[in-house]
Amino acid sequence: MTMNPEELPVIGAVFRFGAQDRVLDSILILGPLVVVFFTVLGRSILTETVVALYVLSFVVYVPYLAVTQDPDAE
């Protein structure tokens, strides 16, 4: 028996009421985990790389959506 992310209490709510975009919802869910990761392990090249990749995911994905989405689609 496998569990879908929608079955988890908090994550399921984000997927149901979020932006209807799994990638963006996943990035938003990972945000607090990245903060905890950084806080627990302290500042190092590993944590700074993880944070940089997290921020880069927003910087790349949001313009990608703007370019690829059809403005007439509803």
Residue by residue, pLDDT tens for the chain (74 residues) are: 576 666 666 666 555 655 677 788 788 888 889 999 999 999 999 999 999 999 999 889 888 887 887 666 65
Per-residue H/E/C for the chain:
CCCCHHHCHHHHHHHHHCCCCHHHHHHHHHHHHHHHHHHHHCCCHHHHHHHHHHHHHHHHHHHHHHHHCCCCCC
The model's pTM is: 0.65
For the chain, the structural domain boundaries read 5-68
Q: Would you state the pLDDT for residue 48?
A: 92
The gap between the terminal CA atoms of the chain, to the nearest Å, is 36
Q: Would you state the pLDDT for residue 22?
A: 79
Rounded-to-integer distance, Cα 41 and Cα 34, Å: 11
